[in-house]
Structure 1
Amino acid sequence: MTPVCPFVKATRPDDASSKRSGENICKHAAEHESKAKSESVDSGIIEPKCPLGYDSRSFKIGPLSCVLCKALLFESSKCVPCSHIFCKACISRFKDCPLCGADIEKIEHDEETQKVVDKFIAGHARIKRSPASTDTEEEVSKNKSVIYEDVSLERGAFLVQHAMRAFRAQNVESAKSRLSLCAADIREQLKESGDKPELCSQLGAVLGMLGDCCRAMGDAGSAITYFDESVEFLSQVPPDDMEIIHTLSVSLNKIGDLKYYDGDLQASRTYYFRSLEVRRNALLNHRDNASLTLDVAVSLAKVADVDRGLGNEEGAISGFREGVNMLQSLKIDASQVALEQRVWLLGQALLLK
């Protein structure tokens, strides 16, 4: 079965950005974590610890993960009579236990296991001791009034990673839950530190992923709301990062897609054209970027397709022709097999127009 995932999709050439967005967050997290570790050595800050006694390097999530989606359990459910535990959405597709093969007589909610999972998530990488504190680690662990606060972006990368796993397994509710926690964390950081470009870009990417979750669930209204907010935050970031430019333009295109499917061609064209303008402006400074050139051709095709639907045949023909010319002028390195395939697919689509 091919997973429907916002980070790995081939239905539209420009949708691949969601995967890059998730990976970009993880990359930023790794850099931030490395910096945080260096600073903790200098300042004497005890490294953040999980309330269950685990840390990010030694913790194995096996006991708290679902063997089907490979992510942390969500709505933990126990098979009767074998007692094996899975996510509710994952096990609901089976009549026999995937682990032991026993007939599933019924599925029961496992509240106790879910409480442990939720406790781990709530405390993951969030406990920090003040540099001025002289308490020992043992005394800190006995302190009943533990204050939680985000101390690194490692937690965000952790949540995004599990959301990606869940989405690939079509456990969309789980993915949405993890991404919502991640978005809430970043919003809190924005309140404390102001609209830092790095945080705005991360929140914009996560909101875009939430939009994909809602779209997969058939909730177009919520999807548009998330994509709109994604655009709002990504627009606050200086337009000099190619990843941000791509993610921003894709969010605009996805709103255009939803408007298009809803029959609102004029609104659809507005969003498609905004995406085209973002990509055109970026191409002025990156003329030799083959991927960006392809993105512009995609946007030209989208705008032209809507123009044709609106009765603007002349504008449609002009747009399709410009898109074809851009593809013909592309120079692709032999190693860029995936890009070459995207160009071929788009070229075929444009020729059929």
Structure 2
Amino acid sequence: MTIHVFCPFAKAARPQDAPGKKQQKDSAAGDSGIISPKCPFGYDSQTFKLGPFSCMICQALLFDSTRCVPCTHVFCKACISRFNDCPLCGADIESTEADANLQSTVDRFIEGHARIKRSQVESTDEEEVEEKKTVIYEDVSLERGSFLLQQATRAFRAQNVESAKSRLIICAEDIRDQISRMGNTSELCSQLGAVLGLLGDCCRAMGDTASAVTYFEESVEFLLQLPQDETEITHTLSVSLNKLGDLKYYDGDLQAARSYYDRSLNVRRDAIKNKTDVPSQFLDVAVSLAKVADVDRSLGNEDTAIKGFQEGIKLLESLTLKSEETALEQRFINSQLAEK
């Protein structure tokens, strides 16, 4: 399983400085008067970085740090458990042992990463401010969220799902803390909705269906609080609804599955009313039509199912963009209709 998600922190605005003479005067330090924090180990959310706290297998930060015996190389427990020889040096792995001290260091690093912030001096006296050598650091909660999401995505792709879940839980806690202080802003609800959806993916990959349903439902709850006029938000909302439908479908509850699929379809239909020039929106609607039609077929509503599949095919045929993805979607719906 692969995580497909837009970064919920990508569009968040950085804090801006108040205008004033001091801002114009500090040209050497930059007009903003803000010093961007730098991670001493080189980790950030914008570049691909492997550092001293990285697992060389999943390339994310170490989780359940485990040392190989006798070569002493360290990896995540879940990662190294798949090997008989050390991936770094090729030595036979006679045994493994937990490295609690290193993991404690990694955990402290994660807790402190991108939390640098200093309050601005409450003074209008420019000379007094200069004498105190005041440095105003940027609030980098955005950088922290992107960093945690980056690490979680790397771990998930390497099938180290426990590591991914751990990082996403921290990210969700950070956003909840901001919501408690700032209220349910659209930006925060969007971020939390996306992260909760990713947590649902992790739980589903781990076989924890009940927790996956809980996370997906909470994701939907937060995303429904937002204006449905942004492509990323409507897509993430509809995906969470479809995933709930998938879980119900494989659990044998076809009526519940159809209800979730239908809600996703309605969200996607509303989206293309406002943005008719986005091919991906039509693909989304076609997929939802196929999901609803598939359930209708399983429920014995054959005529309704055929109409749904045919509508999906017409949507795909109306697209001018003939990409490989479009062709795959059309073949899927055609195969469903052919079976009937």
TM-score tier by shorter-chain length is 0.7 to 0.9
Tell me whether 1:223 sits opposite 2:212 in the alignment. Answer: yes
Tell me whether 1:120 sits opposite 2:120 in the alignment. Answer: no
Percentage identity across paired residues of the two chains? 61
- Greater relative CO (CA pairs within 8 A, separation 6+): 1
CA distance in 2, matches of 1:232, 1:267: 17
Structure with a larger share of its residues in helix: 1
Q: Tell me by how many angstroms 1:53 deviates.
A: 7.7
Tell me whether 1:209 sits opposite 2:198 in the alignment. Answer: yes
Taking structure 2 as the reference length, the TM-score comes to 0.85
CA distance in 1, matches of 2:196, 2:47: 30
Code of the aligned partner of 2:334: G
Counterpart in the other structure of 2:338: 351
Unaligned runs of 5+ in 2: 24-28, 123-128
CA distance in 2, matches of 1:255, 1:342: 21
* Deviation readout 1:125-181 (Å, 9 max, x if unpaired): 11311112877699x9xxxxxxxx964311000000010100110000000000111
CA distance in 2, matches of 1:288, 1:194: 34
* Deviation readout 1:62-115 (Å, 9 max, x if unpaired): 211000001000010000111000000000011111111111111100011111
SS at match of 2:68: strand
Q: How does 1:1-353 map to 2 (within 5 A)?
A: 4-7=1-4, 18=5, 21=6, 24-28=7-11, 32=14, 44=33, 47-48=36-37, 56=44, 61-132=50-121, 151-332=140-321, 336-353=323-340
Q: Tell me by how many angstroms 1:27 deviates.
A: 2.4
SS at match of 1:95: coil
Taking structure 1 as the reference length, the TM-score comes to 0.82
CA distance in 2, matches of 1:218, 1:160: 22
SS at match of 1:27: coil
Tell whether the 8 Å contact from 1:301 to 1:350 is kept in structure 2 after alignment.
no
CA distance in 1, matches of 2:332, 2:302: 23
CA distance in 2, matches of 1:233, 1:96: 46
SS at match of 2:14: helix
Q: Residue 188 and residue 315 in structure 1: after superposition, are their counterparts in 2 closer, same or farther (change >3 A)?
A: same
CA distance in 2, matches of 1:137, 1:174: 39
Q: Residue 136 and residue 122 in structure 1: after superposition, are their counterparts in 2 closer, same or farther (change >3 A)?
A: farther
Tell whether the 8 Å contact from 1:48 to 1:126 is kept in structure 2 after alignment.
no
CA distance in 1, matches of 2:78, 2:201: 18
CA RMSD of aligned residues (A): 2.9
